[in-house]
Amino acid sequence: MKTNNCITSAFFGLFLFLGILSGNALLAQSNDTATLPEFTVDVSKTMGGFKPLNGVNGGPRIRLGNAFDNSEYFKTFGPPHVRLHDTRYSDEETVDIHTIFPNFDADENDPANYHFQKTDLYIKSILDLGAKVIFRLGESIEHGEPKFYIHPPADFEKWARICSRIVQHYNMGWAEGFHWDIQYWEIWNEPDIADCWSGTQEQYLQLYEITAKTLKKLDANLKVGGPTIAFNMDSELGEAFLKHCKNTNSPLDFVSYHIYSKSTDDFMKRIEISNATIRKHGFKDVEISLSEWNYIPYWPDGKNREASRDVFAQTTGAPGSAFTVSVLSYMQDTELDMAQYYSAFGTIFRIGLFDESGIPKKAIHALEAYHKMVQLGTRVSTLGNNQETGVSIIASTDLGEGKTAVLLSNFDDDVSRYKLQIKNVPFKNELKCSEYVLDDTHNLDLDREQILSSKDFSLIVDLPKSTVRLLLFEAL
């Protein structure tokens, strides 16, 4: 009996010990959950539609090196706008003025002196997607020496007339052209860097003024803009451009500038600075376009090929994907009217969405996730953004279809678990929650599915650094 009592006591002690451990573990888990940072979605508070900020630079047509039609991939991320810049690096002899009008000494009024066909095909491939075109009038960037095409035109007035003929071809049927009603015409690209403009600041301002006035005289309904600078609008050229347009009454329907950054906080502060500068100069109603943007950890020395490869692998990989989703989410609450990610090119472009074989890179799924969220149409209230570390939340709903989408991203925060609370879901039945993950090893793959039945419910979300999660809720 003593033996049995000893055995019984031993087992009781063991169970008590395990129970204490289990209780402590549950208590610790409960405490961990209670202290997790929170995301909140309130489905009852709608915020209208979404701004068209998920545009891109470059269309689906690839004719350099290999020939690809990436239209099927473009449809997965649905760009509302496609900006025509640097297109000759994916489809040679397109868009740039020297490719359309190769002999500057020729008669600009003779249709025979224009080579429109390749650009016609390039633009048609974009319009067939249902996207709008932003036509950059000027030349592509030229890395290395010597420079061939980024010099100031020999005759600014003639250059403006050539641009006018290009507008007439695409909007008024000139030279066996079209009536495509392309609205946005951007004058030159990055005249504040040597790889894009060899002239002076004053020469660019003069070129802009002459061209803008020529185009608006042709058609007052066109939207003409610039200066498409690489740096903030409070830079020397940015300020000079705004002052010049004001002083000379030069047409300015939209202002465009570019941002590349390694920090979501820096990125958003630069938008705030640029937009405030535009308004400070009295342009209260002008549209604002971030016509190039992306994540760049640092600009590598062009001579260090390994560094260049590694940097741009981050840009188009998981870190860049998380950065993309985060800033797309934040930008909805800025004064931006449109934005174009750089870039959607394929072939040799290291920063593009496709490799030289036409295979999509990971970053394409960041745009896809955002597009899936936007497609539901109505934005709803969210809380939980951390701009300093690149943590973001944005959500949309289609109450008629009983669907809600929540898009989460963690660019650079060390916290890896979050509590997501969904408030005021108006559906009586259960909800199916499908979670899709984009990270180093997943390409927006289905991670898990679960059934939720509470009107106001919460769930724990794993969201480590360089991770995007798309949660789709559907009423059953």
Q: Pick the closest to residue 413 from 460, 466, 462 (CA basis).
A: 466
Is 80 exceeded by the pLDDT of residue 302?
Answer: no
- Written as six digits, the tokens of 117 are 């066909």
What are the backbone dihedrals phi and psi of residue 403, each rounded to the nearest 5 degrees, phi first?
Answer: -125, 145
CA–CA separation, 143 vs 421, rounded Å?
A: 49
Q: What is the pLDDT of residue 347?
A: 63
Q: What's the gap between Cα 113 and its chain centre?
A: 37
In this prediction, residues 87-106 reach a mean pLDDT of: 95
Output the CA–CA distances (angstroms, integers) from residue 108 to 135, 210, 213, 227, 242, in the order listed.
Answer: 19, 16, 18, 25, 30
> 457 pLDDT band (50/70/90 cuts)?
confident
Q: What is the pLDDT of residue 348?
A: 57
CA–CA separation, 175 vs 48, rounded Å?
A: 43
CA–CA separation, 243 vs 94, rounded Å?
A: 33
Is 90 exceeded by the pLDDT of residue 387?
Answer: yes
**Average pLDDT score over the chain:** 91
CA–CA separation, 470 vs 83, rounded Å?
A: 27
In this prediction, residues 191-217 reach a mean pLDDT of: 98
What are the backbone dihedrals phi and psi of residue 251, each rounded to the nearest 5 degrees, phi first?
Answer: -60, 135
Q: What is the pLDDT of residue 18?
A: 33
> 431 pLDDT band (50/70/90 cuts)?
confident
Q: What's the gap between Cα 347 and its chain centre?
A: 20
CA–CA separation, 438 vs 434, rounded Å?
A: 14
> 1 pLDDT band (50/70/90 cuts)?
very low
CA–CA separation, 120 vs 95, rounded Å?
A: 9
240 touches 233 (CB < 8 A): no
Q: Which pLDDT tens digit goes with each residue over 133-185?
A: 999 999 999 998 999 999 999 999 999 999 999 999 999 999 999 999 999 99
Q: Is the dihedral of CA 80, 83, 88, 90 positive or negative?
A: negative
Is 90 exceeded by the pLDDT of residue 468?
Answer: yes
Beta strands in 252-346 (DSSP E): 254-261, 287-295, 338-341
In this prediction, residues 97-119 reach a mean pLDDT of: 98
Is 90 exceeded by the pLDDT of residue 455?
Answer: no
In this prediction, residues 402-430 reach a mean pLDDT of: 92
Report percent pLDDT > 90 for the chain: 80
Which of 27-36, 234-243, 333-342, 422-431 shows the lowest mean pLDDT across its residues? 27-36
Bridge partners, residue 227, by sequence:
256
> 19 pLDDT band (50/70/90 cuts)?
very low
Burial class (CB in 10 A: 0-12, 13-18, 19+), 327: buried
In this prediction, residues 220-247 reach a mean pLDDT of: 98
Output the CA–CA distances (angstroms, integers) from residue 153 to 160, 198, 199, 261, 350, in the order listed.
Answer: 10, 11, 9, 32, 30
Q: Which pLDDT tens digit goes with each residue over 350-377?
A: 789 998 788 899 999 999 999 999 999 9
Q: Pick the closest to residue 174 from 99, 85, 108 (CA basis).
A: 108
At 399, the amino acid letter reads L
In this prediction, residues 26-51 reach a mean pLDDT of: 79
Counting every residue written for the chain, the total comes to 476
Q: What is the pLDDT of residue 15?
A: 33
